Amino acid sequence: MTEAQEQKRGEATPEALPSEALVAEFLRLNPDFFVDHPELLTNLTPPNRPFANTRRGAEIVDFQQVMLTRMRDNLGQVQERQDALLHASRAHRQSQTRVHDAVLKLLACRTFEHLIETLTTDLTVVLDVDVATLCIESGEVPRIAKNGIHVVPSGFVTSLLPKERESLFRETPQADRQIYGNAAGLIRAEALLRLQVRQSAPPAMLALGTRQATMFRKGQSTELYGFLARIVEHCIRIWVGAPT
């Protein structure tokens, strides 16, 4: 309905409106009218009970019950949305606490060996994941770090995380053994975070794998884990002597 028609409708006089008989006939011929326009039920005045004094004594519909049912449905939907928001808020707060705890552990490392151990062992406990690995494309890897890093073929990291992509969150029913080794069979979801220690360094990433299929999923917020990746980069730069 156009704005002009809406205004004209609002200015209609009682004489210009259809008679009760025409309205009743229209509703008889269009029994699904309120199914298609349920919002009109909120503008109706339901009949008082009992229904003994109806004009024709015919069977009638209890519109009051219809409206009450609709209100209950609406309240149920509102409650479901509130519960979903509350759950999302709690999950976000929990993730925030975990990431902050992980950052504090990384910043407390006193040697490069300690940093690698923290990344690949302590982070699994703090972040509540099953596996945490550092993956780096074949290139010069510091000798001391080889036990904590998975060296992957050239182009592997870039194929998962092109230069314009900082992270990848997804369910993965069949995880890659090149990332998780023998633990790949456990993984049902993963977060892959690009690491750029320095411009000349080969592409690298931090991989977090979990058996909880709903923990990492496409479309979820990545800011917290992006912050974690920047801290990891910073810590590695400090211990390998790269410019910060």
Higher pLDDT, 23 or 34: 23
Kindly report the average pLDDT of the chain as a whole number: 81
pTM over 0.95: no
What span, in angstroms and rounded, lies between the C-alpha atoms of 213 and 189? Answer: 5
What span, in angstroms and rounded, lies between the C-alpha atoms of 223 and 227? Answer: 6
Cα distances (Å, whole numbers) of residue 234 to 93, 153, 154, 198, 231: 24, 24, 23, 10, 5
Higher pLDDT, 218 or 46: 218
Q: With DSSP H G I counted as helix, E B as strand and the rest as coil, what are the percentages for the chain, rounded to 5?
A: 55, 10, 35
What are the residue boundaries of the structural domains of the chain, listed by start? 98-240
Strands (E), the chain: 131-137, 149-152, 167-171, 189-195, 204-210
Asked if the model's pLDDT at residue 53 lies above 60, the reply is no
Statement: 98-240 belongs to CATH 3.40.80.10: no
**Contact between 193 and 225 (Cβ < 8 Å):** yes
- Of 104, 191, 112, the residue nearest 148 (C-alpha): 112
